Structures are given as structure tokens and as C-alpha cells.
A and B are shown apart, each in its own frame.
Chain A
């Protein structure tokens, strides 16, 4: 014969305090990740019916950000484009969505919902992300030009080439700085664009 212990609501345990720079909570990152999936998916979706699937995907990555980290969303965005008609805006949105959800996903995976991510982590990774994204958007335009769907908007090809060239130059410069910093014993993560 055993007597059950009555349920007692216990106070939360005290916390260990850390002096950090500006930070965002893990749950905030997950919320932004879900919104980004929803926005990019809605734009890239071939029909309004796919919005339900996008919303489901958004909820899933908010709860399990490892899904975004594993590249499943890259396959998802590619599938949305494959199922629909080719479109410049959809392609650009899918490209941006695939990249940024992967980046946000890996930060969201690193901490639990109550954990903290320093804003400096994102700020220092920002230039590299921007370079890659600009390069990818230039490639989107080039692919659009290569598909022959430009028509009268031939200037898009010029813009695409300029974007790719500028991003490639910025990327090379950043990598060279990183290599110099490495040789001096510094951290290439601290290299700032420009």
C-alpha cells in the first residue's frame, strides 16, 4: 500500500546569470524562421492550395528546427518550383528562402527555445550571407536569361552579370582577408565586409 505524493507546484529554479551583448532568444529565432518559411513558400507556391503545406512546414520548423538544418526545405522549395510554372519572382523567393532558412535553422538548432543567441553572431556572419545571396540572385537572373524568357527585358542579363561579378569580387576579397587574418593568428569570423 503506497500513498501518493500530492501534486505541488514548485517554484522555478534560480538561474546562472551571464553578461552578454545584445541577444535574441531561441524561441524568437524559431518564430522568425517559421515566418520566413511561410513568406517564401507563399510566394513560390504554384497555387493557393500549397499554402496549407507551407503553413505546416512553417509550424514544423518552428518546433523542430533540425528540419530546416537538414536541407529538407531546399528540396521543398525546389519541388514548389518544379511543380509550378517558371517565374522570376518565385525563383528568387525560393532561392532566398532556401538559403536563409538554412542559416536561421542552424542558429535555432544550436540553442533550446529558452537559450540565447548573441546578435554579434549574426552580425559577423551577415557579410558572407549577403555575398552568397547576391551571387545566388545574380545566378537566378542568369538562369532566367539562359531560359530565353527575358523577351524585351534584355537589360536583365546585364544586371545579372553585374550582380554575379560584384558578388564574386566581394566574396574573393572577404576570403583573402580571412586568409590574411588566419596567417596572423586572428579569427576570420571577425572580418567585416567592405
Chain B
């Protein structure tokens, strides 16, 4: 603990006042110094021997959503009058508090609202203990920040587009193959291997009965479409992350924490689509255009959702990604959903290549609605050119058969529309 300059200065001034008033023979003036000296002596008698400790931890039950909760536990030794806290997080106004401390450890609830998702360092607390009369203060200490995984809220999506071809021998979708299923394909003659319970006796009686001999000749069976599952590969372009404020695109300013960036929209899109497809029993994989890491292979089930979610939360732009000469390999017949801002050629080129390989490709535009206030004339001109190039790029992409969904508008409606175009033609 450190003796404060303010308290020592006040005590010295009080001593000086006492000396001058005694010299002047004015006891009524001398008593002005009395409370200061008494309070200082009292504070010295009950001073604490060490500083308070502060611990920050994430509150229990932290789920998906934009509200993040944490707890700070303040444990102050005897003699501490108050603890000064400065609670901060990058992009937020810091909050300074002079906190009363209890004999028992005190727990303080902290919370903030973040439109940003992913792994974020939040809740940094600088603290300093004060003894009585602030005679002694501790050296500044720091608790946190806590690495918080802010998960996006998944949008409910009811109807989803399907791949051009189904895969697998079972699932919740009807394929174009003949096999076990519900939807009627046709009625055909019984051949070895057909199940007897599939014989359609009415048709057999009508068409297979030999009226001359009265015997049943050919038997007919009802054939159905087989069921299958869809393979969906969600691809995120994490090479760039831009916010709504175009003035921050150059990296000159901070993106506001109460506005989602393109990568936040991409995380929300992937989380919504992955949950919806997995609930439908389909196989979902995840790949990242910005990193050469091994993709999350298509799979199903709750554990697989956790795997996708973990990878999704850790997506972040890292350095300058290398140019991919070869497009990432995908399972045959998979539906590809590519989430990107399409601010450069790379994502569009990759989407076009996948489409030419026969995949159904849906390009999800994750650029948030932009704001151009505060731009210099040069920046404004540059932005207009970038916007024009991007519009031309998206138009060219749709010409190649890639379907486009703008996530910032009404993705549920657009996906519903795409779900009705079975072969990717609108």
C-alpha cells in the first residue's frame, strides 16, 4: 500500500495551520486543523495490510445471444474502506465506480450488449483499494479480460434449398432413385428381389388375370422413390471483415461493437443454416476460404453441431491469405452455400468453379448495409468503384447459375423461394 500525496499534503497543511495559529495565539484557528489530524491518525490506526483482490469470470448459463453476462468478485482485507474499479471493454465506454466493500467477498454483476460474435476479450477491470481517508492506496491491479465466446442467434428457417442430387440410402428427403420410401414412382412387373408386401393386388387382378384360363399370370408391384439425405457444405470467406461504416474499411478506425460486421452476418448465416439442415437429418460440413485448415467434414447430429460451432466461433481474418490455385474439394453432389462479401474476385471465382463442377451453389452476400458518411471525396470515389465492381461481379455470378441470397435483407423468404426451384433455376 502506498501513502497518497493528497492525504500527506492535507496532514502537512493541517500541521502548518496548527503551528501558525499557535504562534499567532489564536486557538479558534488551531481547531480548524483538528479534524484533519484526528481523521488521519484514526486512518493510520486501522490501515489495511494488503490490497483487495478482484477476479472476473463469465456468468453461468451463458447461451447464444447478444447479451453477455459476467461476475466480478471483490475480496477486500480488513481496513479497506472502498475499492475503485474501472470496468472496460474494447469498443465500450469505460465505467468508473467507487465500490463499498463488505467483510464477505462481494460479487458484482456485469453485463454488456454485443452485436459482434466470435471469441472476444471482454470485461477488463482495473482496480485500486483505498484505506480510510484514502490515506493509503494500493498499486493498480488488473483483472481480466475474459475471453468470451459470443454465439450468434440462429434464425428459424423452415424451407431450405436442396442439392441437385441426393446421396445416401436413407434420410428425410425423396431422391430420384427407386427404392424404399413413401412417394409412388410407378407400378412395374414383379421381378426377383421385390418384396411380396409391395405387390399391388388390384393392378395385378386387373391386368394380370388371364380371362380364358381364369389364372393370375403376371404380378405387379408398387415401386416408390427411395429416401436420401442431402450433403450441404457451408463455406465462409473469412479473408475480410468489414463493418457498416465504410470509413473504417481502411483500418483507420474501430468498427462499432453494436453493429454486426460481415463476418458476424456470415456466422449468423452459417449457424442458422447448419442448425436447420442438421435438424432435418442432413449432413453438413464447414470450410473456410481464408485458411488452409482441414475442413469440418460433413456429418450429422448434435455433437457435429458443436464441432461446427467451435470452428465457426474461431473464424477470423488472419494476415494475407494465399491465393488458392485449386478450388477446395467437395463431396459429390453437395449443395454449397458460400458466405462472402464478394468484394474481390476470389470468392466469386471459387463459386463459379464449383458451379461448373455440377454443384448447386448458393452465394450468401454478407455485406451489411453500408454507411458512407464521413468519407473524404477520394474515399467516396474509391468506394463507388468498389461497389460498381462488386455489382458487376455478382451479376456475372448469377449468370453462371449461382443463386444469390442477401442475408441482410430477408434471407428466410429468399431461401424459401430457392427451395421451390428444384434444379437451381429460378
- Smallest CB–CB gap between A69 and chain B, Å? 4
Q: How large is the interface on B (under 10, 10 to 19, 20 to 34, 35 or more residues)?
A: 35 or more
Query: Contact at A91–B28, with CB atoms within 8 Å?
Result: yes
Cβ of A107 under 8 Å from chain B? yes
Cβ of B251 under 8 Å from chain A? no
Segment at the interface with B among A54-62, A151-159, A186-194: A186-194
Smallest Cβ-Cβ distance to A110: which chain B residue: B98
Q: Which of A75, A120, A133 contacts B100 (CB 8 A)?
A: A120
* Distance A70 CA – B109 CA, assembled complex (angstroms): 34
Interface residues of B: mostly helix, strand, loop or mixed?
Answer: mixed
Query: Contact at A171–B110, with CB atoms within 8 Å?
Result: no
Query: Contact at B16–A75, with CB atoms within 8 Å?
Result: yes
Query: Contact at B82–A102, with CB atoms within 8 Å?
Result: no
Cβ of B303 under 8 Å from chain A? no
Cβ of B306 under 8 Å from chain A? no
* Distance A98 CA – B21 CA, assembled complex (angstroms): 15
- Smallest CB–CB gap between A159 and chain B, Å? 15
Smallest Cβ-Cβ distance to A128: which chain B residue: B42
Segment at the interface with A among B212-220, B277-285, B308-316, B374-382: B374-382
Smallest Cβ-Cβ distance to B111: which chain A residue: A17
Query: Contact at A102–B36, with CB atoms within 8 Å?
Result: yes
Chain A residues with CB under 8 A of B101: 187, 189
Q: How large is the interface on A (under 10, 10 to 19, 20 to 34, 35 or more residues)?
A: 35 or more
Query: Contact at B97–A182, with CB atoms within 8 Å?
Result: no
Chain A residues with CB under 8 A of B80: 187, 189
* Distance A15 CA – B7 CA, assembled complex (angstroms): 33
Given contact pairs A78-B20, A98-B36, A147 touches B27 in the complex (Cβ within 8 A) = yes
- Smallest CB–CB gap between B89 and chain A, Å? 6
Query: Contact at A71–B103, with CB atoms within 8 Å?
Result: no
* Distance A77 CA – B378 CA, assembled complex (angstroms): 61
* Distance A186 CA – B94 CA, assembled complex (angstroms): 31
Could you tell me which residues of chain A, from 71 to 120, have a CB within 8 Å of some CB in chain B? 71-72, 74-75, 77-78, 81-82, 86, 91, 94-95, 98-99, 102-103, 106-107, 109-112, 114-118, 120
Segment at the interface with A among B130-138, B260-268, B342-350, B406-414: B130-138
Q: Which of B32, B38, B98 contacts A115 (CB 8 A)?
A: B98
Known: A71-B13, A74-B13, A116-B97. 12 other contacts (CB 8 A): A15-B112, A17-B111, A70-B10, A77-B32, A98-B32, A99-B36, A106-B134, A121-B98, A121-B100, A140-B28, A187-B102, A189-B101
Chain B residues proximal to chain A, CB less than 8 Å: 5-7, 9-14, 16-17, 20-21, 24, 26-36, 38-39, 42, 45-46, 76-82, 84, 87-89, 91-103, 108-113, 123, 130, 132-134, 247, 256-258, 373-378
Closest 7 A/B residue pairs (Cβ): A71-B10, A120-B100, A115-B96, A71-B13, A99-B35, A143-B27, A8-B374
